[in-house]
A and B are shown apart, each in its own frame.
Chain A
């Protein structure tokens, strides 16, 4: 038990060094200087209010649009039973799990000046210039955010709706309400908590969205997240960036807090029904056309951007891919693009190892508390004396998830000055984001192992180490694997923190894509497409693997 207690310190030490210490550095800079200039300016300088206001505005609008677009999908998947519903549901998840950089590239590939829509229009109407100028407008951001978060609304609202007893609505109808009024006065209020929860989660994602806003919005439309990056990298104005980060931290923590509270309330809903009772088949022709039409439009909206990347990447045959192996500039900061793939795999490998190890230890340290109060070592464990410590610990392990990636990256730059040039920073940053997922994947399975299984093995002659190998390991193996694959996917796609901490000569795939998108010319754009296609395929493979190995329902 002594050894275990010592191990349990590791995740905390990791968080202390690479999460709390960088955050403290941000605070220090914000409150430093002549009379805490950074913090003071937050209240006096209109610049901050403007950035914050804009961030809220675009997030709110994006959220509203997502709700409106996905609400019918929630209804259809909750109330109708038809072939392919499961597949459809799985397909809508793909955009959400794609790296932001892929989504941003996808919309560039679709709607940008060299995008397929514009190219087609130019060819059709013999135009000189691309007719659609959607890039660098609010519209591009709204579209991409809706595309991204569609599945959240569909799943949270639809999931709640699927179990909602239709008798409430029937009762209203019998009492003389029209379908519309029954919906408005009965169903909608019952759905309200789910809608608010979904909206809040989407709002959080839109509020902290980085890649999409940076690439599709451009500097003029910078949100808090993009502005932190711009102030750090382009203007090297660290005090301002620190003040912005502080603002971002306060906002995200407040939002996460609200969401957690809401989710707890959502967990105790009214009378629920098994879904099978509630579902029905499509009946009238009108129903078929309406539902069918909507679903076709939905699939078109969710699939076209991704498909267009792949298609556009092959515009020159394999030309864009061949170009990845060529080092055009020959300077030290510009390596052959294919090296980015190598770097990404390297970092992802390191992230997998680090995140899995830390996640496993963290999961065990949380689990140590809720074992049955029977083990002889109970008295010796500090953690068990104070059950509330465990709850705090549980929340602490999840904190990195509630912190924006760019803030993390910025904190690294401030705090870990000496390490700044170190290659290790990238996998460490990725681990910070990935290891909570490992904890969340492993912990429920760990809790499901009955203590009697381990004791039975012990009584049959297995030493403690043998018990772990024979009982724990085989049972949690799949969950660990899922966590590891998730860590891999997170690392491959992570952009916000990487953009700040990656060394110039060691770009990852997302960083390389971003650089190519910022360069003029078809070759650069083509290489961005080729890299995005590769990243997309890797992510898709990972998604399939996780679906395969997932045990039960992982926590969101």
Chain B
């Protein structure tokens, strides 16, 4: 379906996108995940045609999109601020794209009510868009983007402005709607929970390149590099040097390796669940202890000055002396 090849773009003289390639299959939801300023919105705007890439190509069904103007691409786009037209009511907003396609009045009416029904706003047609709640406005924006039956739907942090509880519910609804109609979608966000809940595949963007692309579980199980690991909340990373016996040497000692990815500079990833409390282990003391999801997340500082996050069954008081035993580490690219 959508193929982007080696897209490059500079912003204010500095490279923003350094050659991004990605393919999205029909009916697939791909999330572009990255910190703010990583260029993910720019990539979206390039695909939409609102900006021009300096290098690379955008292909849709094998056809080059470069010289097709925005309004003829047939892509849907949902903005973070939703950009509902303030001078038109809900019906008119949703009908806009159909009017641009010169649909007949009857078609427009049928399609608008069908789409509003789909997003769960069946009786909202006559409402003023300025009177909608955050969640309602978000659904209207979705309906507006879906009504003209776009070939590809792009969503630019569409839930960014909403509060956490509402967001979690809407992510689930949004995914259900997109899956029901089989919409090919590209979803941009900086929130990994949102990406995990939304996507079939996640593309993590970092420093103008795609750091890793894959299903959520694969990324979590085997992060390709330190950036991806850190971005997914795996923060126990130590510089590592390989040894002839297959183990690695770090500041905290020598550990066996369970898996190893790539060559060059390497770091050891220590998952919290692989760290045990052991009085004879590496000496450390507790800095912080927070209860989360049935367990305690504990930040410790070892006597040699390395911070680690571990998980324990019971609470530990701040300052408590502990000993740590690390069973094994994973080695990933730095």
Which positions in A face B, CB cutoff 8 Å? 374-376, 450, 452-453, 455-464, 466, 470-471, 474-475
Contacts and interface: CB of A to CB of B under 8 A. Distances in A.
B307 to A, nearest CB: 40
B50 A374 contact: yes
Given A374-B51, A461-B100, A462-B100, A455 B74 contact: no
Given A460-B144, A461-B97, A376 B77 contact: no
B259 interface: no
A221 B77 CA distance: 68
Given A453-B85, A475-B87, A459 B100 contact: no
A19 B77 CA distance: 47
Contact of B96 (A374, A455, A460): A460
A458 B96 contact: no
A460 B69 CA distance: 12
A461 B77 CA distance: 11
Contacts of A466: 71, 100
A450 B80 CA distance: 12
A376 B73 CA distance: 16
Nearest to B42: A374
Contacts of A464: 71
Contacts of A461: 71-72, 74, 97, 100-101, 148
Contacts of A475: 86-87
B66 to A, nearest CB: 11
B45 interface: yes
Interface string B63-82: 00000011111111101010
A113 to B, nearest CB: 57
B52 A376 contact: yes
B228 interface: no
27 contacts: A374-B45, A374-B50, A374-B51, A450-B81, A453-B86, A455-B50, A455-B70, A455-B79, A455-B83, A456-B83, A456-B85, A456-B144, A458-B50, A458-B70, A459-B73, A459-B145, A460-B145, A460-B148, A461-B72, A461-B74, A461-B100, A461-B101, A461-B148, A462-B71, A463-B71, A466-B71, A475-B86
Given A376-B51, A460-B96, 4 more contacts: A455-B48, A460-B97, A460-B144, A475-B86
A470 B96 contact: yes
Contacts of A374: 45, 50-51
Contacts of B72: 461
B79 A452 contact: yes
Q: How large is the interface on B (under 10, 10 to 19, 20 to 34, 35 or more residues)?
A: 20 to 34
Interface in B75-127: 75-77, 79, 81, 83, 85-87, 96-97, 100-101
Interface of B: 45, 48, 50-52, 69-77, 79, 81, 83, 85-87, 96-97, 100-101, 144-145, 148
A460 B83 contact: no
Given A376-B52, A461-B97, A461-B101, A453 B71 contact: no
A236 to B, nearest CB: 56
Contacts of A453: 83, 85-86
Contacts of B74: 461
A426 B89 CA distance: 44
A54 B148 CA distance: 71
A466 B73 CA distance: 16
Contact of A460 (B45, B52, B81, B100): B100
A452 B46 CA distance: 15
A249 to B, nearest CB: 42
B85 A457 contact: yes
A51 to B, nearest CB: 53
Given A376-B52, A460-B144, A461-B97, A455 B71 contact: no
B54 to A, nearest CB: 11
Nearest to B11: A373
Contact of A459 (B52, B77, B81, B86): B77
Contacts of A450: 81, 83
Nearest to A470: B96
Nearest to B72: A461
A459 B70 contact: yes
A374 B49 CA distance: 11
